[in-house]
A = this chain, B = another copy of it.
Amino acid sequence: MNVNVTDAIAPLREEEVLPQIAETELARWIALSRVPGLGCVNFKKLAEYFGDPTEAFSAPAEALVKIQGLDPNVINGLRHFSAWTEMEVEVGRAEKAAIKIVPFTDPTYPARLRLIADPPPVLYVKGEIRNQDEKAVAVVGSRSASEYGRRVARDLCRGLASLGFTVVSGMARGIDGAAHEAALNAGGRTLAVLGSGVDRAYPPEHDKLYRRISENGAVISEFPLGTGPVPFNFPVRNRLISGLSLGVVVVEATEKSGSLITASLALEQGREVFAVPGEAGASRSRGTHQLIRQGARLVETVNDIMEEVAPQLSARAQTAENAPGRALPQHLGDECHKIFALFRERALQIDEVIESSGCSPSRVSEILLELELLGYIKQLPGKKYRLED
């Protein structure tokens, strides 16, 4: 069951492949987030090159060298990664704490998050991410919120929940906490993305909220279990808040608020940015006013959010409605049409798609992701895909 650690330290010979059992596979996935120099951008390159990015650990150097922009240090880091025992311990620890480790290629890994430029190789999940959580809007804001800000956050989240949206936030004091609570109180789902490990509630006074969220949604982090609330981690996790969401609503933010980071990441990711106005001169609205000046949509009610978000959803719903016999839109291109046609007969594994289509593995990954997000195909466990019902 265990990886042979000595073998892993020694330079791999090409014919050597690490054992492919479930637990070990998770360990290899976690390892992808620990290889020195291998950040999430490089990880995405591996994910686009290999159907299964953990193959990078056993891939011949000649293969790795072919991946554009991959630093030689990263290749060395991959080939000499040695902390396998630590990875195994982490897998066991998560299991005991009822925390799921969800790899990038897992069907429950949020499809929208897969699209960003720097997706984490694994997510630690306390609770459950469901398909319906793809219909998500983030609501974030100042930790030192005003009563006005909390009220607007509550009103918006109640509205979002009643329309079947999952509310994403950061579980921080102030606006974030109010957002999660309002969604839960309205019987909705909510996802909390932490800048620390998911095995502990942070901030501590949100312990009860943490439990409620894990029962009606999920607490999520890319950081190893036991990671403390290091300030540096918070801006990093903000990209997941926006990455999980169709749009980000900033309710209140001072001029140097972390919420402004979330907003600018959202823009980079092509997600909508919304900001709630306040009175001129109100310090807690200075950040949201700045966002509005920069082009964020001014939002007062949930309807203002829907005006921007609904068209995206209805486009998806329209394509999904006439599945499975329906035609792909022309603009998707020949490769996309060719690959889609392969699924007409049966479900296929990614390797089969690569072989039958003659396209590169990275191109196939891209196309499958696009088809999945458009609602044409559905990912099954084991990197298998089938037509969406």
Binding site for B on A (CB under 8 A): 148, 152, 155, 276-281, 285-286, 289, 292-293, 297-301, 304
Residues in B whose Cβ lies below 8 Å from that of A281 = 152, 155, 300-301
Q: Are A280 and B277 neighbours in the complex by a CB distance under 8 Å?
A: yes
Interchain Cβ contacts under 8 Å between A and B, 27 examples: A148-B279, A152-B279, A155-B281, A276-B280, A277-B277, A277-B278, A277-B279, A277-B280, A277-B285, A277-B289, A277-B298, A278-B279, A278-B280, A279-B279, A280-B299, A280-B300, A280-B301, A281-B300, A281-B301, A286-B300, A289-B298, A289-B300, A292-B292, A292-B298, A293-B298, A293-B304, A298-B298
Interface SS majority for chain A? mixed
Copy total for this chain: 2
Shortest CB-to-CB span from A65 to chain B, Å, is 50
Residues in B whose Cβ lies below 8 Å from that of A292 = 277, 292, 298
Residues in B whose Cβ lies below 8 Å from that of A155 = 281
Residues in B whose Cβ lies below 8 Å from that of A280 = 152, 276-278, 299-301
Shortest CB-to-CB span from A153 to chain B, Å, is 10
Residues in B whose Cβ lies below 8 Å from that of A299 = 280
Query: Which of A152, A280, A293, A298 has most B Cβ within 10 Å?
Result: A280
Shortest CB-to-CB span from A164 to chain B, Å, is 22
C-alpha gap A277/B285 in the complex (Å):
10
Pairs A-B, 5 closest by C-beta atoms: A277-B277, A280-B300, A292-B298, A152-B280, A293-B298
